Chain A
Amino acid sequence: GDSVTQMEGPVTLSEEAFLTINCTYTATGYPSLFWYVQYPGEGLQLLLKATKADDKGSNKGFEATYRKETTSFHLEKGSVQVSDSAVYFCALSDRGSGGYQKVTFGTGTKLQVIP
């Protein structure tokens, strides 16, 4: 079945440091890929997505490129801020057996940015 593997955290960075959170996936079809972010005490919200190979999703300075050859969707940001402290989830979405949108989440990576 489908699965998502992302790097374990927590990740602690100083403000303005470069961020990479690795994500690889296994899927039988041609999934869409997502990064969701969860701020403390809140639900998940979509950060960015890519729907086909070589697509780049971007939002709020974050980027991720859908790499089919390496089955990866790594999240990057050039200069993190304290306000980026959150838990980041990589996810893939495909069509489930019942025709519904089946979303598989990674375990989440906690990012802490210190001033």
Chain B
Amino acid sequence: NAGVTQTPKFQVLKTGQSMTLQCAQDMNHNSMYWYRQDPGMGLRLIYYSASEGTTDKGEVPNGYNVSRLNKREFSLRLESAAPSQTSVYFCASSEFGDRPNEKLFFGSGTQLSVL
């Protein structure tokens, strides 16, 4: 059982380049999330998808776009990367997404450096 799979694990970009981070889950979960993790700031929500076909902004959406391709896949796109987007990115999923007591399942992360 793979759980939540993210690709790539590492990426280096130059300022202005674009890229897409891929995420897929095999648990038939309704909700999926993208977080970024920065030192001293914990995890901050970028975008979430409560269910297939819907996406909404989180706490720090600027500079990002997302696509919920189907129930399994949720991608994060950086159209024009900036050094401030250097971070570790985590994809997560939850079964229902509307119940405060649900646990989140996380991928292993993508370490992105923007030079």
B99: chain A residues at CB < 8 Å are 101
Please provide the chain A residues from 78 to 102 with a CB less than 8 Å away from any CB of chain B in the complex. 89, 93-95, 98-102
Q: Give the B interface residue count (CB, 8 A).
A: 27
> Is residue A17 within 8 Å, beta carbon to beta carbon, of the partner chain?
no
> Is residue B34 within 8 Å, beta carbon to beta carbon, of the partner chain?
no
B103: chain A residues at CB < 8 Å are 34, 46, 49
User: Closest Cβ of chain A: how far from B50's Cβ, in Å?
Assistant: 5
Chain A residues touching B, range: 20 to 34
> Which of A32, A44, A98 has most B Cβ within 10 Å?
A44
Instruction: Report the Cα distance A97→B78, complex, angstroms.
Output: 26
Are A107 and B40 also in contact (CB < 8 A) when A43-B90, A93-B101 are?
yes
Contact assessment for B107 and A43 in the assembled complex, using a CB-CB cutoff below 8 Å = yes
Instruction: Report the Cα distance A41→B100, complex, angstroms.
Output: 27
User: Closest Cβ of chain B: how far from A18's Cβ, in Å?
Assistant: 25
Contact assessment for A41 and B108 in the assembled complex, using a CB-CB cutoff below 8 Å = yes
Please provide the chain A residues from 3 to 56 with a CB less than 8 Å away from any CB of chain B in the complex. 4, 31-32, 34, 36, 41-46, 49, 51
Instruction: Report the Cα distance A93→B43, complex, angstroms.
Output: 13
Contact assessment for A101 and B102 in the assembled complex, using a CB-CB cutoff below 8 Å = yes
A49: chain B residues at CB < 8 Å are 101, 103
Are A43 and B4 also in contact (CB < 8 A) when A101-B99, A106-B42 are?
yes
A4: chain B residues at CB < 8 Å are 42
User: Closest Cβ of chain A: how far from B101's Cβ, in Å?
Assistant: 4
List 9 contacting pairs A-B, 8 Å CB cutoff, sorted by A. A36-B104, A43-B92, A44-B106, A95-B100, A98-B50, A100-B48, A100-B56, A100-B97, A102-B45
Shortest Cβ-Cβ A-B pairs, 9 listed: A43-B106, A105-B42, A32-B101, A46-B103, A105-B43, A51-B101, A107-B42, A93-B100, A44-B106
Residues of A within 8 A of B (CB): 4, 31-32, 34, 36, 41-46, 49, 51, 89, 93-95, 98-103, 105-108
